[in-house]
Amino acid sequence: MKRLSYTILATLLAFGAAAQNDIAPIMLDDIHYYISDRDSTNRFFIKHFGARPMAQQPINPFQFIDFLLVRPGQSTINVSSRGPFPGMRVRDPKRWNRTQIEPSPDLPPMYGMDWLAFSTKNLKKAIAKLKKEDIVFINENFKLPGEPSVKAVILWGPDYNRIVIVERKNDSGITPFGIDHLQYIVEDLEANIKFFSEVYQGKVINRSEQVATMLVGGHTFVLATPEGMGLDRSKVARRSPDFFRYGIDHLGFMYKDIRPAFENAKAKGYTFALDPTRMQYYDAPTVYTFAITSTPDGMQMEMYQEDGRTTARTKYLDR
């Protein structure tokens, strides 16, 4: 089965499941970067990948987050600086008191999400465009875990976070780029498959001993052990509450109502750092209700609902 088919199947499964199963998310809606320079990160995705800034609802919108959409119908890339954020009360006083690790190309890989991958129909054309824009490529003959024959490149994104571009000849998207997959490094493959299956109703569509491809919230997730990615397990860093690294910090899955999914996960023994809570901003209610848990490797995952919205963002700031 080709990856475009995965994308189509992911959308059908996500929206079909959400219509029939109130514990399934409507979609993955938030790929959230904490970044050292918010403005330059926005320019990076807008200039190089054609992202467009999205509008929030007018009721008490957050001012510390930018929402960028690369392809309609998909998750947004959310960009914010490191907190604390004015107007937001912090439940855990140690939340932002972690030792900051400065961005560097020499940092070891870390368990959790390792890269965001974009698809394009013509990789050669995309490479030529990005080289003119002074993008730094790490490897122009990159081998994907589980798909070594697929043409791909890997490059440096903001704060030395890795970004992959994959050629999909049958990509019929209406934009030059789209989100292809989210790549995870996992310490225990079975534990992570179980987590995404039980908490977010993900479906395994392909797997080997070291790599599993799942459809989760309408997007493709690739879970791979260090060995499945050609890495030395002893050199992969564990996530720690004592240290902060810039990059993709968490993902957010959207629901019409998060309570059934939250109760289902609790019943299966999963713990939450935050039970369903209406978020306050400058002591006034927002449209968002959140619950927060973590993957087996300690990467934060969110369930949330947004009053008045149950589909991907469609309102652009420039309209």
User: Look-up: residue for tokens 């309609």?
Assistant: 72
Torsion angle of the four alpha carbons 213, 46, 309, 36, in this order, in degrees rounded to the nearest 10: 80
- Which whole number is the average pLDDT over 94-101? 88
Q: What is the CA radius of gyration of the chain?
A: 19
Paired strand residues for 294: 300
Task: Please report the DSSP string for 275-297 in residue order.
Answer: EEEEEEETTEEEEEEEEEEE-TT
In a domain, 286, yes or no: yes
Among the listed residues 192, 197, 191, 189, the one whose alpha carbon sits nearest the alpha carbon of residue 215: 197
User: What pLDDT digit, counting tens, does each position of 125-168 carry?
Assistant: 999 999 999 999 999 999 999 899 999 999 999 999 999 999 99
Task: Determine the structural domain holding residue 96 and report its residue range.
Answer: 3-306
Per-residue pLDDT band for 89 (boundaries 50, 70, 90) equals confident
Q: What is the pLDDT of residue 18?
A: 47
pLDDT, residue 4, reads 47
Asked if residue 11 lies in contact with residue 186, where contact means CB atoms within 8 angstroms, the answer is no
What's phi and psi for 195, nearest 5 deg?
-60, -55
User: In the beta sheet, which residues pair with residue 119?
Assistant: 166, 178
Q: pLDDT tens, 177-212? A: 999 999 999 999 999 999 999 999 999 999 999 999
Contact 41, 33 (CB under 8 A): yes
SS3 44: helix
Say if 312 falls within a structural domain: no
For range 15-40, the mean pLDDT = 85
pTM: 0.92
Q: How far is CA 41 from the centre of its chain?
A: 15
Q: Rounded CA gap, 57 and 133, in Å?
A: 34
Instruction: Round to whole Å and give the CA distance between 208 and 148.
Output: 13
The answer to the question of residue 39 being in a domain is yes
State the pairing for strand pair 274-281/178-185: unpaired
314 occurs within a structural domain: no
The answer to whether residue 37 sits within a structural domain is yes
Question: Which pLDDT score, from 0 to 100, does residue 19 have?
Answer: 44
Q: Does residue 315 lie within any of the structural domains?
A: no
The one-letter code for the residue type at 178 is G
189-200 helix and 259-267 helix, angle to the nearest 10 degrees: 140
Domain count, the chain: 1
- Residues 15, 251: Cα–Cα separation, whole Å: 18
Q: Which helix (H) or strand (E) holds 224?
A: strand 219-224
Q: Is 247 left (phi over 0), alpha (psi -120 to 50) or beta?
A: left
**Separation CA 22–CA 303 (nearest Å):** 13
Q: Are 32 and 78 in contact (CB under 8 A)?
A: yes
- Dump pLDDT digits (tens) for 287-308: 999 999 999 999 999 999 999 9
Residue at token pair 């919230």: 217
Can you tell me the distance from the alpha carbon of 130 to that of 138, in angstroms, rounded to the nearest whole number?
Answer: 13
**How far, in Å, CA of 252 to CA of 293, rounded?**
10
Determine how β-strand 274-281 pairs with β-strand 284-294.
Answer: antiparallel
pLDDT at 242 over 50: yes
User: Considering the chain, what is the average pLDDT of its residues?
Assistant: 93
* Higher local confidence (pLDDT), 126 or 97: 126
C-alpha 228/C-alpha 211 separation (Å) is 6
Task: Decide if 38 is inside a domain.
Answer: yes
- CATH number at 141 reads 3.10.180.10
